[in-house]
A and B are shown apart, each in its own frame.
Chain A
């Protein structure tokens, strides 16, 4: 078993050791945590908010909240899980603060079946979404992928972003969102179905 060498000058201290030191008032430990996690937290809140400006506000709120709460960090969760929970809440709070224009929901992109329960589309059409990154101009795909994620209902978006985009284990997503793992799986599954149909629509084939 690997033992973290917390005091070795040649190795970086692990996240939880830094968090404990920061919680005890060690400012340099807090700065090290910010440097270590700012990129990942930014990517998370940018995906969750769908906007540069709101991501910036959420990033600041997240680290300020973490700074104020580190004294209570007990290491019951891994530090990244603890920080992601704070950052997710900061991003969701930003989403609630803004007067969002009503996004057109993705429900129209759910898979379609005929009266016997068979897929309504031909096989060749059903897999085209899998090649969206080959078939579409990169810049257009990037812009529309962001729009598609933004059009998910918030409950689905948070679960999908954490589980499928940040690639967190289902149990950790459940912990971050405060819901049961089964609920995470149901939300992620629904988001995948809708986004598959959305990608299919982008390449010119209706779901």
Chain B
């Protein structure tokens, strides 16, 4: 029987999601999560956080900056 707590599980989440935990530790996390709705929901949010932030910061280079970069580099290269 596992003695893993939610706090212990939270500390291992990155390794857990990437599949890099030792098999016995992974089994402990699996056993805890299977009986812990809080960890199921926390895991869901932890996993989605990078996606939400990635999609919210998908900056495109402004056309004006493409032109000013060309001018800047041409001047420094003596063109």
Contact = CB atoms under 8 A, between A and B. Distances in A.
Interface of A: 27, 34, 38-39, 42-43, 46-47, 55-56, 59-60, 63-64, 67, 111, 113, 116-119, 121-133, 141-142, 145-146, 148-149, 160, 164-165, 167, 185, 188-189, 192-193, 195-196, 199-200
B53 A126 contact: no
A34 B38 contact: no
A55 B49 CA distance: 24
Interface of B: 5-8, 10, 13-15, 37-42, 44-50, 52-61, 65-66, 68-70, 72-73, 76-77, 79
Contacts of B10: 111, 113, 119, 193
Contact of A123 (B7, B41, B58): B41
Given A63-B73, A118-B5, A126-B41, A192 B57 contact: no
A119 B38 contact: yes
6 contacts: A67-B73, A113-B5, A118-B7, A130-B49, A189-B14, A199-B45
A197 to B, nearest CB: 9
Contacts of B44: 127, 130
Please report whether the interface of chain A is mostly helix, strand, loop or mixed according to DSSP. helix
Contacts of A121: 38
A141 B56 contact: yes
A39 B59 CA distance: 9
B8 to A, nearest CB: 7
Contact of A195 (B5, B40, B53, B72): B53
Contacts, number: 138
A185 B15 contact: yes
A199 B54 CA distance: 13
B56 A42 contact: no
Given A60-B72, A133-B55, 7 more contacts: A59-B61, A118-B7, A122-B38, A126-B41, A130-B52, A145-B53, A192-B13
A67 to B, nearest CB: 7
A127 B52 CA distance: 13
A125 B42 CA distance: 9
B32 to A, nearest CB: 11
